[in-house]
Amino acid sequence: MPHPLRIAHCSDLHLDGDAYSPNNQSPSVLFEKTLQNMKRSDPHILLIAGDLFDSNRANDTIVLWAMRALKSLPFKVFVIPGNHDCMQPNGVFERHDFNAIENVVMLANPNGEIVWAEDHGVAIWGKAMVSHTPEYRPLSCCPARPKGCDWYLGMGHGLFVGNEKNSERSSPITLQEVEESPCDYVALGHHHAAMEIVTDTNIAAYSGSPTDNLGKGHTFALVELIEGVAPVLDILTVE
Ligand SMILES: [Mn+2]
């Protein structure tokens, strides 16, 4: 029987951008607080579901600071790009190799890839966004559950469009795609307000942005997966 898995999940940090916070805390201060908060819950892994940076022009100072912050964490970190920091020539993730950080895995393949946190029996699937367009479908073509994993997680950065099948919005994510996902949990990013998408078959969530107070405030998600039980999802406010 697989052991329970505790996942920390955040997105939309926009570290090099202007804070969306009215009380003037910089994104990097809020990110640091978020990581401290997460550490208290002792997660097995952290998922960052896009827009760690606000722009592909993010300067070296902030990028190197973020790389050091991730490197210092006592757990493995999985990152996908978002629309603000998508895979572009000379973009932030081309200039800086996050996969060179021992405990960080950057999912940089536009066609999607499965990576592993072997210690915890976890397979993680996600795609790297190249362009934020209606044709780009963050959750399409997710492979079936790989053999040998205890837990299968998905990551995606895009706009939830519910039942709208032919949405003209960019990077759409439909309810059907969530329902049909083979993953035990799908970590989403792009909406800055936390949002839970619970279906009969599946659970996905936007964690909300720790650096924006839209919705429930500066939030991140903590998810507990336990065999035979529905995932336990908590949206937590950064203290
Ligand atoms: Mn976004």
Q: What spacing in Å lies between the alpha carbon of 17 and ligand 1's midpoint?
A: 13
Q: Cα–Cα distances in Å, from 192 out to 33, 50, 121, 206?
A: 17, 11, 30, 8
pLDDT on residue 20: 67
Give me the residue label for tokens 């959750």.
139
Q: What spacing in Å lies between the alpha carbon of 75 and ligand 1's midpoint?
A: 25
With CA atoms as reference, report the closest residue to 153 among 70, 43, 56.
43
Q: What spacing in Å lies between the alpha carbon of 158 and ligand 1's midpoint?
A: 7
| Domains located in the chain, CATH noted | 5-237 (3.60.21.10)
pLDDT on residue 123: 98
From the first residue on, what is the mean pLDDT of each consecutive set of 10 residues in the chain (239 residues)? 93 89 81 98 98 97 98 98 97 98 98 97 98 97 97 98 92 96 97 94 94 93 94 95
Q: What spacing in Å lies between the alpha carbon of 208 and ligand 1's midpoint?
A: 11
pTM: 0.97
Q: What spacing in Å lies between the alpha carbon of 159 and ligand 1's midpoint?
A: 8
Q: What spacing in Å lies between the alpha carbon of 239 and ligand 1's midpoint?
A: 24
pLDDT on residue 165: 84
Q: What spacing in Å lies between the alpha carbon of 54 and ligand 1's midpoint?
A: 9
Q: Are the C-beta atoms of residues 130 and 56 closer than 8 Å to each other?
A: no
With CA atoms as reference, report the closest residue to 83 among 49, 106, 47.
49
